[in-house]
Amino acid sequence: MSAPESVHGMWSSRLMFILAASGSAVGLGNIWRFPYVAGENGGGAFVIVYLACIFLIGIPILSSEILLGREGRQSPIHTMKTLTKTSGANGAWQFIGWMGALAGFVILSYYSVVAGWAMAYVFEMGSGVFVNADGATASQVFADFTGSPGKVVLWHSIFMLLTMFIVARGITEGLERTVKYLMPALFALLLVLVGYAMNSGHFMEGVAFLFSFDFDKLTGAGVLMAMGQAFFTLSLGMGAIMTYGAYMPKDASILSSATSIALIDTSMALLSGLVIFPLVFANGLESSAGPGLMFVTIPIAFGSMSGGTFFGVMFFVLVSFAAITSAISLVEPALAWFVEKLNTSRRNGAIVVCTIAWALGLGSAFSTNIGSELYLLPGMTFFDSMDYVSNNIMLPLGGMLIALFTGWFLSQDIVARQLQISGGKLIMFKVLVRFVAPIGVGLVFINTFI
């Protein structure tokens, strides 16, 4: 039997778990990354593969992570250690926990840099430079900002400090309090923006771009990106959700929570696309503009609205907070391990984890200025390399191993007890985690790398 509670604290209800996990899932991946990656990969066909990955691979792995976490009630490294022992499986499965903690550092390092851009944009918007700005002006403001190493590092540092303070305060006082107000606010604001995009005149062009399936535009590399994006957006494959599962009340339903989280996350991504693409087309911008897409289109939209400066400031405040509720979950696996292993305080754990991630993030902070010519992987800046390795390799690999472990090696009594299912439903779950998810990830890997 698993421990009833975790030593790190507990979510106060099932709803709080869902909000926190959605807070982890909904972040820069939805508002910033999804639209630009979909744009670079031609739109519709990419979206279909992405949605298939969310439902066939994402939800089963999301459920697996939660159930492993709730059974182990510790950091992923120690949870995997306990569960391999009780299931009589090979200790090598602990690799899942170690790689997850490493992926957390890699992602957090560049995530904080982009979140810093978003925070800086609160003030760029507030300055009024975007009032009636055209595409060229907005692109120039973005290039000027990201071209300044001092500014980028400053905002990266501020974001990391904020993350550190919240994480240090603990589950209830830090995280729960943040997500309770910010998640509903973010959702409401996105709806306002969709309303605006509907009136921009190019709404249907945006809809067509996202939902017309032209498979000629999708390459093998695009399929890998769609799968990587599905893992990234659901925070899967690195133990973040496993850690959150460790703090989940014992009676809450895992499958219905996982489905809610995936639906919330997917709607936020699609809504972001429905805001950004109509504005891209209305302003004659390129859908394949890359990481700057959101930082150019959204300011133009607000710049041409009455009251737009106010709403624009709000928007970037909320994006920053959406990023924070995700960043916290990137810290948590390594932090929980640190606290368990060294028997030290959350505060110390937070300082160590955030400082390492901050230092690694300097590489990404410089990728848009003094380090723009420095390539780590062929043709990729430090920033692009961190993003590529974590999303396209580490997260899918971690997710595949989690599915395999849950399906083949974990005691199946634990699976049935944690999921509270039996019969046909249990068989369906097993088919998904034993075959569909790992084979799906495996095929995409083979197709891309061999």
Q: How far is the CB of 29 from ligand PFF (least distance, A)?
A: 2
From its phi and psi, is residue 26 left (phi > 0), alpha (psi between -120 and 50) or beta? beta
Among 6, 22, 30, 94, binds ligand PFF (CB under 6 A): 30
266 touching ligand PFF, by CB under 6 A: no
What sign does the CA torsion over 136, 116, 146, 265 have?
A: negative
Q: Which residues, at least 6 apart from 70, have a Cβ–Cβ distance to it below 8 Å?
A: 2, 245, 246, 248, 250, 254, 418
Q: How far is the CB of 65 from ligand PFF (least distance, A)?
A: 10
232 touching ligand PFF, by CB under 6 A: yes
Total of residues contacting ligand PFF (CB under 6 A)? 15
25 touching ligand PFF, by CB under 6 A: yes
**Which positions from 49 through 108 interact with ligand PFF, judged by CB under 6 A?**
107
Q: Which residues, at least 6 apart from 424, have a Cβ–Cβ distance to it below 8 Å?
A: none
What DSSP string describes 231-265?
HHHTT-SSSHHHHHHHTS-TTS-HHHHHHHHHHHH
233 touching ligand PFF, by CB under 6 A: yes
392 touching ligand PFF, by CB under 6 A: no
* Residue with nearest beta carbon to ligand PFF: 29
> 105 or 281, CB closer to ligand PFF?
105
Q: How far is the CB of 100 from ligand PFF (least distance, A)?
A: 8
Q: How far is the CB of 185 from ligand PFF (least distance, A)?
A: 17
CA 214 from centre of chain: 27
273 touching ligand PFF, by CB under 6 A: no
Choose the binding region for ligand PFF from 22-30, 88-96, 293-301, 354-362 (rule: CB under 6 A): 22-30
Cα–Cα distance measured from residue 75 to residue 6, given in angstroms and rounded to the nearest whole number: 9
Among 79, 326, 392, 406, binds ligand PFF (CB under 6 A): 326
Cα–Cα distance measured from residue 179 to residue 52, given in angstroms and rounded to the nearest whole number: 28
Is-contact 290 36, C-beta < 8 A?
yes
Question: Which has the closest alpha carbon to 264: 300, 304, 234?
Answer: 234
329 touching ligand PFF, by CB under 6 A: yes
The type of residue at 428 is M
Among 41, 75, 235, 406, binds ligand PFF (CB under 6 A): 235
Question: Is 88 in a helix, a strand, or coil?
Answer: coil
Choose the binding region for ligand PFF from 68-76, 89-97, 233-241, 254-262 (rule: CB under 6 A): 233-241
> 115 or 279, CB closer to ligand PFF?
115
> 238 or 294, CB closer to ligand PFF?
238
330 touching ligand PFF, by CB under 6 A: yes
Question: Is 305 in a helix, a strand, or coil?
Answer: coil
272 touching ligand PFF, by CB under 6 A: no
How many residues in the chain? Answer: 450
Question: Which has the closest alpha carbon to 358: 91, 108, 23?
Answer: 108
Among 10, 17, 23, 29, binds ligand PFF (CB under 6 A): 29
Where along the sequence are the contacts to ligand PFF (CB under 6 A)?
24-25, 27-30, 107, 232-233, 235, 238, 240, 326, 329-330
